[in-house]
Amino acid sequence: MRTTPPGETVHAHFKNWVRLLDRSLGLDLEAELEKEEVRGFLRSAFESNGAMPPPYFVPLLMERRRALAQHTVDTLAATVRRQTGRQIPVPVPVRVNAPTPYEPTGEVRVGDEPVHGVDAPAIVVEAAEGFQCLLADRDRLIWPLCPDHGSGLHPSRTGPAAVWFCPAADHAVGPVLTV
């Protein structure tokens, strides 16, 4: 009689759970598993809670998005104050809305921009985009600017990193956040 080693059984249960989340929530977490940080987040949720149903997983995902978006906004606001001397009116809103049939994973927004990412660089890019739009709309401030071209930079994903990207000359200027 062949028995499956315990590690293989747990791994199979984990993969099945991730597939269930994908089907139920419209995510592509299986593809995200190649990213160590996402795999760690999902593995930790699974090890702490087992193969919890999707509605129980959603609050963990929403909190991850909220916390990373808030960290991004707070860090960028401090950087704007330091670089420009301008005081950014508080608060820079990071809003969280409960799941709905149309948004089964809930909704996190920075200003008017949604944050849908699962991995940290995607969340940082989306939060930075929301922060920039808020600065432009509310404070009439274009920030940051490319030191070489004077044009407004845009947050972008380049490989595994969130970077400020200059559209004028098609080059990355630096990381959105320095950790």
Q: Per residue in 16-70, pLDDT tens? A: 999 999 999 999 999 999 999 999 999 999 999 999 999 999 999 999 999 999 9
Residue 87 has pLDDT above 90, yes or no: no
Give the three-class secondary structure for 111: coil
Which tokens in the block code for residue 67? 């916390």
pLDDT of residue 179: 59
pLDDT for 4 beyond 70:
no
For 102-140, how does the pLDDT look when each residue is reduced to its tens digit (9 = 90+)?
A: 999 999 999 999 999 999 999 999 999 999 999 999 889
**Residue 100: Cβ within 10 Å count:** 10
User: Is 153 within 8 Å of 142 (Cβ atoms)?
Assistant: no
C-alpha span between 26 and 11 (Å, rounded): 22
In the numeric block, the tokens 């809305």 are attached to 97
Share of the chain above pLDDT 90, in %: 84
Q: What is the pTM of this model?
A: 0.89
